[in-house]
Amino acid sequence: MNNGNTKFIIGGGISGLIYGFYNRDFQIISPDIGGKLKNSYLTSTILLHDTPETKRLLQDLNIDPEPKAQVMRYFYQDKLQENIPANLKELMVAKKLTPWEDLNKLNFDFKITDTTLSTDDVYIPIFKIPLDKVIKALAKEVKIVKDKVVRITENEIITEKGRYRYTDLISTIPAPVFWKIYGRERNLKSLPETFVLAKSNPVEKTSLYWDLVYFLDKKVPYTRVNRYSNDSYLYEFTGELNKTQIKKLLPKAEILNVYTDRYGIVITDLNNIPPPNVRFVGRFATWNHTCKVQDVIKDSIARYDFLSIWNKQKEFNANFFDFNVRDIELQQKLTKEFVLHIEDEAHELLREVNWKMGQYKHIEVDRGRLLEEWIDVFKYWLGLGNVWGFTLEDFVNEFWRKSLIVDERFKQYFKDNDKKVDDKSSG
């Protein structure tokens, strides 16, 4: 069923569509187009932030970016407030991570120690254009097969209607779903989130304007409310609610729509690493709650081309030795030179952290400087490979050959240790 194509994207939400838009050699497989944003009212809570990446996307889609400030407020101690002390934000997070029915058990003994106001701006710069319009524009430009993936192996995608061989795979589906259909279980934590679109203003008696309000009091069962239209509002609850519970919690409201997102609140896990020929893109695939549309655009445009890095360094090293000359004496001498340089650069990296016993002068660890030193080690390391004429192909093949051996040794080590424990317990 491939028709010559071996590059696929799983999922037709905004992440899959953006990746497909910037990478036209990829084909999307998804039962729907738009994902969460099919529910147009969710576009009042999922915003297109004003960033260079989102501006570029709108320009590439010929959509006029209309900048706007989203006005955020806080409801605390029965009052709408323009801002809250920075440390009260912890209360907001604690509430968001507690299912609505457990809020009374939330033991958040909060003492205000810092009375300065948060420096976070409550006027969030966004683009006014609703994300469902962006979805429509993207969908016109990409190739989509309407189907659902039910199994993924190391080189094949099985769908409800067929099968596809793949070389490159982008997954935008929630990570727990990916791992399940990949045949591996992963313990990734999340909480469901329920969105209720209702005709009922949660803060009627106020003269303060707002687009979005965070509710901090424990007795209020929802975490935040977005203004959707002049008379309808989107309430967000942590956890699941049935119709009767919603009626009880919002007795005066006319309920227009309800949507529960099983994985709405993602508890970030940076150990969620994809298999070698797979890339995770988007918040739910990467399992990183900070991931937004602008990160998806960045990931879709970025080119991680190792061949050009390889060639760049080799070209630089050609200033110092002639690759046509095979001189075993010189190669051995240069090996010593490069190893010493690698070692020296590695020590420069080490000096960026507090590692010495009795190191009395504490240094601030600077990730930028660590990165620079790490690259310096890498440059000399590449040069050493150049000295012996290793090619990128040699590097890739040897990397995988050695990785399989290391994996095997690692498994064997645990097998042997388990056996020793079994032998001891049975003996």
d(CA 141, CA 33): 12
Verify binding: residue 37, ligand FAD, rule CB under 6 A. Answer: yes
Cβ nearer to ligand FAD, comparing 31 with 67 = 31
| 318 DSSP assignment | T
* 171 vs 313 by CB, closer to ligand FAD: 171
Using the minimum distance from each CB to ligand FAD, give the nearer residue, 295 or 345. 295
Give least dist CB 174 to ligand FAD, A: 7
- 227 in contact with ligand FAD (CB under 6 A): no
Helix (H, G, I), strand (E, B) or coil at 280: strand
Q: Does 172 bind ligand FAD (CB under 6 A)?
A: yes
Q: Which is nearer to ligand FAD, 269 or 348 (CB)?
A: 269
Does residue 30 belong to the site contacting ligand FAD (CB under 6 A)?
yes
Q: Does 222 bind ligand FAD (CB under 6 A)?
A: no
Q: Where do the DSSP E strands lie in 271-335? A: 278-280
**Region 243-272 residues binding ligand FAD, contact defined as CB under 6 A:** 261, 264
**Beta-carbon neighbour count of residue 306 at 10 Å?**
10
| Residues near 11 by beta carbon (within 8 Å), at least 6 away in sequence | 28, 30, 35, 171, 172, 173, 282, 285
Distance CA 289, CA 17 (A): 20
Please state, as a whole number, how many other Cβ atoms lie within 10 Å of the Cβ of residue 9.
Answer: 29
Pairs from 49-54 (Cβ < 8 Å, separation ≥ 24): 49/124, 49/125, 49/126, 49/127, 49/292, 49/293, 49/294, 50/125, 50/126, 50/127, 51/294, 53/293, 53/294, 53/295, 53/297, 53/298, 53/301, 54/127, 54/293, 54/294, 54/297
Which member of 177, 220, 249, 346 binds ligand FAD (CB under 6 A)? 177
Judged by CB under 6 A, the residue of 5, 6, 7, 36 near ligand FAD is 36
At 277, list the tokens.
Answer: 């020929």
Which region, judged by CB under 6 A, interacts with ligand FAD, from 26-34, 239-247, 300-308, 365-373? Answer: 26-34
Q: Is 173 in the site for ligand FAD (CB under 6 A)?
A: yes
The two beta strands, 7-10 and 168-171, are parallel
**Residue 86 lies near ligand FAD (rule: CB under 6 A):** no
Kindly identify the residues of this chain, within the stretch 277-296, that bind ligand FAD according to CB under 6 A. Answer: 282-284, 292-293
Residue with Cβ nearer ligand FAD (44 or 313): 44
Q: Is 32 in the site for ligand FAD (CB under 6 A)?
A: yes
Measured from the CB atom, the residue of 264 and 383 that comes closer to ligand FAD is: 264
Query: Among residues 19, 21, 27, 29, which is the contact residue for ligand FAD, using CB under 6 A?
Result: 29
The number of beta carbons lying within 10 Å of the beta carbon of residue 204 is 6
Could you give the count of Cα atoms lying within 13 Å of 151 in the half-sphere of its Cβ? Answer: 10
Cβ–Cβ < 8 Å for 318, 371: no
Asked whether position 149 contacts ligand FAD by CB under 6 A, the answer is yes
Measured in degrees and rounded to the nearest 5, phi and psi for residue 126 equal: -135, 175
Residues 183-202 that bind ligand FAD (CB under 6 A): 193
Site size with ligand FAD, rule: CB under 6 A: 31
Q: Which of 194, 161, 188 is nearest to 173 (CA)?
A: 188
175 binds ligand FAD (CB under 6 A): no
Would you give the binding string for ligand FAD spanning residues 395-424, x where CB under 6 A is met? Answer: ------------------------------
The CB-of-282 to ligand FAD minimum distance in angstroms stands at 3
List interacting residues with ligand FAD (CB under 6 A): 10-16, 29-32, 35-37, 45-47, 49, 148-149, 172-173, 177, 193, 261, 264, 282-284, 292-293
